[in-house]
Chain A
Amino acid sequence: MARYAREVAVVAFAQSDHLRRTDELSEVEMVMPVLHQVLAATGLKAGEIGFTCSGSSDYLAGRAFSFTMTLDGVGAWPPISESHVEMDGAWALYEAWVKIQTGEADTALVYSYGKSSPGSVRDVLTRQLDPYYVAPLWPDSVALAALQAQALIDAGETDEAGLAAIGARSRASAGANPHAQLSGAVAQGEYQVAPLRTGDCPPIGDGAAAVILAAGDVARRLCERPAWITGIDHRIEAHSLGLRDLTDSPSTRIAAEHAGVFEAPVDTAELHAPFSSQEVVLRKALGLAGDVAVNPSGGALAANPMMAAGLIRIGEAAARIHRGESDRAVAHATSGPCLQQNLVAVLEGDRA
């Protein structure tokens, strides 16, 4: 644990049920039960938390400063020490982890959420591409992922049957996850954009998640078996797809090296791979052995609430450690087209 100044652990995790539509819920209403649940798990009140950080996207909400209203769900009075990243909640967790490392806070509340249902998320995501040369062409997220999938097939890294098996395994695993949007035997379906079929693509849905971080003895007091973050790092790559080898993820590999993934075997991997083909890329970058439990929660192919799905990977990995089902897990989050930006965390439980 000498890598950082302080020992920090995930001590609680909660998530909503992920649903195709939540027309009846505002974002505050979607977030509040999750916040209450994660606080109740530790016995902490919002006012006792040292630092709060959230992740979300105005583009999903369809309005500027959308997070300012959602903050009300925390019950932010008296004033709190608080920040926000316009990113997946995994990066909000990273900012909170840094804050605890400075010694200015001993605990942190991290939450994130996204409602994709009010708009067309495939169209919305085109707005995160180069605004002058690429976005005006409206290339959608499934088409871009299909380019990556075809590159993998052309390179001999996988085939359509291999991709289908990833989707089937994910949704079978999700049978044990009451929050998942899709689970069980789901038909592989028609091509969305060849070579990707419906079963290779994530469901579109709404959801929220929250995590509590704590340092050292505070963590031991709040949680029977804390999930210690023994390493965490994130890296970004060039934006243009023409500048990248889509069959590889060097940013994941660099982040994994800095997080210490390769220093000892892992037994669990929660990977934020919204498309089946992306799991192939990530397995290779992380050097995962065949016996590692990959996405036992079902992963993003079973539920992919935008801006929360990455934080959920960290939460699911931590929850397995809390339950004694894992001793050393790797959690991964991604952002941007075709795995442009990647975060990797190593979570470990104290050995008996």
Chain B
Amino acid sequence: MSTTGKEPVAIVGIGQTKHVAARHDVSIAGLVREAAARALADAELTWADIDAVVIGKAPDFFEGVMMPELYLADALGAVGKPMLRVHTAGSVGGSTALVASNLVAARVHRTVLTLAFEKQSESNAMWGLSLPVPFQQPLLAGAGGFFAPHVRAYMRRTGAPDTVGSLVAYKDRRNALKNPYAHLHEHDITLEKVQASPMLWDPIRYSETCPSSDGACAMILTDRAGAARSPKPPAWVHGGAMRSEPTLFAGKDFVSPQAGKDCAADVYRQAGITDPRREIDAVEMYVPFSWYEPMWLENLGFADEGEGWKLTEAGVTELDGDLPVNPSGGVLSTNPIGASGMIRFAEAALQVRGQAGEHQVPDARRAMGHAYGGGAQFFAMWLVGAEQPGS
């Protein structure tokens, strides 16, 4: 066994469900199997080709099933195989893909199925996040209530005009119209409609928030030999990292958390990226509330501090701009919470495989998938490329 360096990791299969508000026609097992079967079909592999399964989702209280990987082992063809269950809050879809990727990179397994899901219609996410805990501060009125003050802090700090958030939402919802798997297909969307939507948590309006979706996303990751057999062009992992910081402490910068900066820097170092704005062709960014696009543009090093909103305003992040952000429509159009991070990672891979269909960014060679979770405290990112690393 070689001890020199990691095994290169290739993404050779990607599958998603059509994300919708409620999939009353399938069980949780049926939902995840649909995405996994599509990923296998994309890779032209069978269940027997899979050596291990790595599954992720957000809190078990969202569906009311404790450690659902136990019940899902049969549906995911995992019987007799290793099965790991990752949970890192909202970043979990990204973390899950990274754990799967490490299994291949470490040469522990050759071909791994990784999958993330959420079937929010089985329960109530607001309730799932709101169980009272003695002696701890409540999360306030859902996630929007937690994040709104940080958006306001960003606006105050950078002087961004209050029109920027609606531009992001208008862009992402239009991009979603080109993505057949996206949840929200608002054919009559206009910028005026976004701006006229009700204010939920000032300054976040209804149309600037993510929907609540049922959905699953799966990927097949494999080694060099597996990639050589792949019928379609693989995407290659050029870098991946996770970083965490505490929820609350006096020195925390909620507008641009240090963990996000460090995570991106680690990924760029691994991938040999020195100028992300110029060297990365597309970004699938975790933007559950519209204002997080300009905020993360700065946090990820695509713009200088205070300058992110200018890229958004100038149309740089549009599908035909020179740094398209969320060509798939993003979390603002599709949010099966536990799967949302993996969808970002998978959509980045689709871009560099040239398989993104109508929302394909022309000639995308390197793309970034980004996820965050908790109180903007857990980060998971990967950078994928069309070329095998080092080639």
Indicate whether B383 reaches chain A with its CB closer than 8 angstroms: no
Determine the chain B residues whose CB is within 8 A of the CB of A80 once the complex forms. Answer: 243-245
For B80, what are the chain A residues with a Cβ–Cβ distance below 8 Å?
Answer: 235-237, 250-251, 254
Tally of B interface residues using CB under 8 Å? 71
Does A320 interact with chain B (Cβ within 8 Å)? Answer: no
Is A62 in the interface zone, CB < 8 Å from B?
Answer: yes
Q: How far is the CA of A59 from the CA of B68 in the complex (A)?
A: 12
Residues on A with C-beta less than 8 A from B99 are: 83, 95, 98
Cα-based distance from A59 to B65 in the complex (angstroms): 9
From A101, A102, A235, A340, contact of B82 by CB (8 A): A235
- A64 at interface by CB-CB < 8 Å: yes
Judge whether B246 and A72 touch: CB under 8 Å: yes
Question: Which of the residues B67, B79, B136, B242 comes within 8 Å of A81, measured between beta carbons?
Answer: B242
- 0/1 interface trace, chain A 76-108, chain B, CB 8 Å (1 if under): 111111111111000100110011011110000
Check A64/B129 contact, CB under 8 A, given A86-B87, A87-B84: yes
Assuming the contacts A68-B89, A95-B99, asked whether A131 and B28 have C-beta atoms less than 8 A apart, the reply is yes
Contact B78 A236 (CB under 8 A): yes
Judged by a CB distance under 8 angstroms, whether A206 is at the interface is: no
- On whether the beta carbons of B247 and A72 are closer than 8 Å, the reply is yes
Complex formed: what's the CA distance from A118 to B184 in Å? Answer: 41
A36 at interface (Cβ–Cβ under 8 A)?
no
Which of B66, B81, B89, B122 has the most A CB atoms < 10 Å from its CB?
Answer: B66
In the assembled complex, how far is the CB of residue B309 from the closest CB belonging to chain A, in whole angstroms? 25
Report the minimal beta-carbon distance from B32 to chain A, rounded to whole angstroms: 13
**Shortest CB distance B180–A (Å):** 29
Q: Give the residues from 170 to 211 in chain A that come closer than 8 angstroms, CB to CB, to chain B.
A: none
Of B104-112, B164-172, B197-205, the one with at least 4 CB within 8 A of chain A: B104-112
A6 at the interface (CB under 8 A from B): yes
Is A293 on the interface with B (CB-CB < 8 A)?
no
Q: What is the 8 Å Cβ interface bit string for chain B, positions 89-110, against chain A (1 contact, 0 not)? A: 1000001001100110111100
Q: Is the CB of A99 within 8 A of B102?
A: yes
Q: Which chain A residues in 223-237 approach chain B with CB under 8 Å?
A: 233-237
Which of A120-128, A309-317, A322-330 is the contact stretch?
A120-128
Instruction: Say if the beta carbon of A130 comes within 8 Å of chain B.
Output: yes
A13 within 8 A of B: no
A2 within 8 A of B: yes
Other-chain contact of A86, B85, B129, B242, B251 (Cβ < 8 Å): B85
Give every chain A residue within 8 A of B245 (Cβ-Cβ).
76-80
The yes or no answer to A350 lying at the interface (CB within 8 A) is no
Comparing B56-64, B148-156, B207-215, the segment that makes contact with chain A is B56-64
Chain B residues lying within 8 Å of A254, measured Cβ to Cβ, are 80
B389 within 8 A of A: no
Q: Which residues of A contact B262 (CB under 8 A)?
A: 78-79
Q: Check B89 against A65 for contact (C-beta < 8 Å).
A: yes
Distance (whole angstroms) from the CB of A114 to the closest CB of chain B: 12
Q: Find chain A residues with CB under 8 A from B242 CB.
A: 81-83
Report the bound CA distance from A131 to B129 in whole Å.
20
Query: Contacts A6-B3, A76-B245: A239 and B70 contacting too (C-beta < 8 A)?
Result: yes
Q: Is the CB of A58 within 8 A of B28?
A: no
Q: Which of A6, A233, A238, A335 contacts B74 (CB 8 A)?
A: A238
- Residue of B66, B73, B81, B377 near A68 (CB, 8 A) is B377
- The residues of B that contact A77 with a CB separation of less than 8 Å are 245-246, 249, 251
Confirm or deny: B193 has a beta carbon within 8 angstroms of a beta carbon on chain A.
no
Q: Please indicate the chain B residues that have their CB under 8 angstroms from the CB of A337 in the complex.
A: 70
Give the distance to chain A from B340, nearest Cβ to Cβ, in Å: 15
B89 close to A336 (CB less than 8 A): no
Which of A64, A65, A98 makes the CB contact (< 8 A) with B106? Answer: A98
Interface size class of A (residues with CB under 8 A): 35 or more
Tell me if B131 is interfacial: C-beta within 8 Å of chain A.
yes
Are the CB atoms of B258 and A128 closer together than 8 Å? no
Interchain CB contact under 8 A, B74 and A239:
yes
User: Are A98 and B244 also in contact (CB < 8 A) when A238-B79, A335-B67 are?
Assistant: no
B20 at the interface (CB under 8 A from A): no
User: With A63-B131, A98-B108, A236-B79 in contact, do A78 and B27 touch (Cβ < 8 Å)?
Assistant: no
Chain A contacts with B in 39-82, Cβ cutoff 8 A: 52, 57-59, 62-65, 67-69, 71-72, 76-82
Q: What is the CA–CA distance of A243 and B246 in the complex, to the nearest angstrom? A: 43
Which residues does chain B contribute within 8 Å of A101, judged by CB atoms? Answer: 102, 106-108
**Contact call A81/B102, Cβ cutoff below 8 A:** no
Question: A71: which of B6, B103, B129, B244 is its contact (CB, 8 Å)?
Answer: B244
Q: What's the least CB distance linking B300 to chain A, in Å?
A: 15
Q: Is the CB of B67 within 8 A of A336?
A: yes
Q: In the complex the two chains form, what is the Cα distance from A58 to B133 in whole Å?
A: 12
Q: Does B83 contact A (CB under 8 A)?
A: yes
Complex Cα–Cα for A135 and B59 (A): 18
| Segment 237-282 of B: residues with Cβ below 8 Å from A | 241-247, 249, 251, 257-259, 262-263, 266
- Say yes or no: is A129 at the interface (Cβ < 8 Å to chain B): yes
Is the pair A64, B78 in contact by a Cβ cutoff of 8 Å?
A: no
Nearest to B247 among chain A residues (CB) is A68
Q: Which 5 A-B pairs have the closest CB atoms?
A: A64-B59, A101-B106, A79-B259, A86-B87, A82-B244
Mark B residues whose CB is within 8 Å of A.
1-3, 5-6, 27-28, 58-74, 78-89, 95, 98-99, 102-103, 105-108, 122, 128-129, 131, 133, 135-136, 241-247, 249, 251, 257-259, 262-263, 266, 374-375, 377-378
Given contacts A80-B243, A236-B73, 12 further A-B contacts (CB under 8 A): A5-B2, A59-B61, A68-B89, A72-B247, A77-B246, A78-B258, A79-B259, A86-B86, A128-B67, A240-B74, A335-B67, A341-B83
**A–B complex contacts, Cβ < 8 Å, 11 sampled:** A4-B107, A64-B58, A64-B59, A67-B87, A71-B244, A83-B242, A84-B88, A95-B86, A103-B5, A128-B67, A236-B79
Identify the A interface with B (CB < 8 A): 2-6, 26, 52, 57-59, 62-65, 67-69, 71-72, 76-87, 91, 94-95, 98-99, 101-104, 124-125, 127-132, 135, 233-240, 243, 250-251, 254, 335-337, 340-341
